């Protein structure tokens, strides 16, 4: 069913098209003495294949609460999904909508303060938010750049499916390892036959030349705290299948896997918030990105929840109103409120 863009008394909700990409805009009412508002560009999760900015009750609820709590204009991006399109189209949609919004005349139309804009997203949306942020920051054609990025249990790499969190949570409900690998294969329009090789890191074995230069950028033995590493051992194959990277070069494309970006790119990133959950295969993706950004001189808040699970933040509406959802959402909104 379609949630119409009706407005509640306090938040005005409208649908628009930004450079060919549909968006839903949540605007709080103008206050008397106030001139400009803060803003968040929000990119929803769902494995690049599920959910919606306009049709998902859970994301509408999240964006409305963000707009209300922060007194901010929230732009929720309705990027196209698998199977209609695959990488890099989801990324291009998110990038186009964001760049359009960052134009001075568009910000003026929505009464947004150009110095107070965040890019944010959860899960696959956190992947797109991180990738978009890496692309817009060095863009010399944009005079306005995001002040912050806020990534909620983001998926950031397809290089190592045996990080401690992938090993620890391989059968965890909501997002078991094989489901995440299938999301990646679908995003890349690949073949499910590859899944077994990906699970054992055959695609990034030591004899796969293209992968070698990236290995140091996500060496979890040095990037993760011991409380995350526990007693897990790295899974590194000596001989693997170089043809996988030849078949799917996107596995090493930073627009798909932002954790593999070079340090020169990371140094330019804005102040960053990353939320991670213990019971989540993606915990270490977020933790490694936080550490690499920190090494590059970026101010980072890593907000880790020991008792929470992947996807929990949108589950705040009955019958799935989990305390984990309210807890993580409040922490995220509080950080935005204090820093945006």
Q: Which residues are catalytic?
A: 123
The H-or-E segment that residue 336 falls in is helix 323-339
- CA pair distance 82, 31, nearest whole angstrom: 40
Q: How crowded is residue 301: how many other Cβ atoms within 10 Å of its Cβ?
A: 15
The single residue listed with the structure tokens 């920190």 is 294
Q: In what order do the strands lie in the sheet with 37-43?
A: 12-18, 21-27, 72-78, 37-43, 112-122, 148-152, 271-279, 300-309
- CA pair distance 207, 243, nearest whole angstrom: 11
CB 26, CB 74: distance < 8 Å: yes
State the chain's maximal CA–CA distance in angstroms. Answer: 67
Q: How crowded is residue 106: how many other Cβ atoms within 10 Å of its Cβ?
A: 17
Residues contacting residue 112 through CB under 8 Å, at least 6 positions apart = 36, 37, 38, 39, 73
């Amino acid at each position: 069913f379609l949630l119409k863009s009706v407005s509640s008394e306090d938040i005005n909700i409208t649908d628009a098209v930004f450079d060919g990409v549909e968006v839903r805009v949540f605007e709080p009412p103008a206050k008397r003495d106030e001139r400009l508002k803060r803003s968040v560009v929000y990119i929803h999760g769902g494995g690049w294949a599920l959910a919606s900015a306009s049709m998902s009750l859970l994301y509408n609820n999240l964006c409305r609460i963000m707009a209300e709590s922060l007194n901010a204009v929230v732009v929720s991006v309705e990027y196209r999904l698998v199977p209609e399109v695959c990488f890099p189209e989801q990324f291009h949609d998110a990038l186009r909508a964001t760049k359009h919004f960052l134009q001075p005349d568009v910000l003026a139309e929505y009464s947004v303060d150009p110095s107070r804009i965040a890019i944010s997203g959860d899960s696959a949306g956190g992947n797109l938010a991180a990738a978009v942020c890496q692309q817009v920051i060095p863009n010399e054609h944009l005079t306005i750049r995001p002040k912050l990025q806020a990534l909620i249990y983001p998926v950031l790499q397809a290089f190592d499916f045996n990080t401690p969190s992938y090993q620890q949570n391989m059968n965890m409900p909501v997002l078991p390892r094989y489901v995440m690998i299938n999301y990646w294969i679908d995003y890349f329009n690949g073949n499910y036959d590859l899944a077994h090789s990906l699970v054992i890191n055959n695609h990034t074995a030591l004899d796969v030349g293209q992968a070698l230069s990236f290995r140091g950028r996500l060496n979890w033995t040095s990037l993760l705290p011991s409380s995350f590493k526990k007693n897990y051992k790295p899974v590194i194959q000596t001989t693997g299948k170089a043809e996988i990277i030849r078949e799917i070069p996107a596995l090493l494309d930073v627009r798909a896997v932002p954790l593999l970006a070079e340090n020169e790119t990371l140094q330019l990133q804005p102040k960053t918030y990353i939320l991670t959950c213990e019971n989540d295969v993606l915990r270490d993706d977020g933790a490694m990105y936080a550490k690499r950004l920190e090494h590059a001189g970026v101010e980072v808040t890593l907000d880790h929840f020991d008792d929470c699970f992947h996807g929990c933040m949108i589950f705040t509406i009955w019958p799935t109103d989990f305390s984990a959802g309210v807890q993580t959402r409040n922490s995220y909104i509080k950080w935005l409120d204090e820093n945006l």
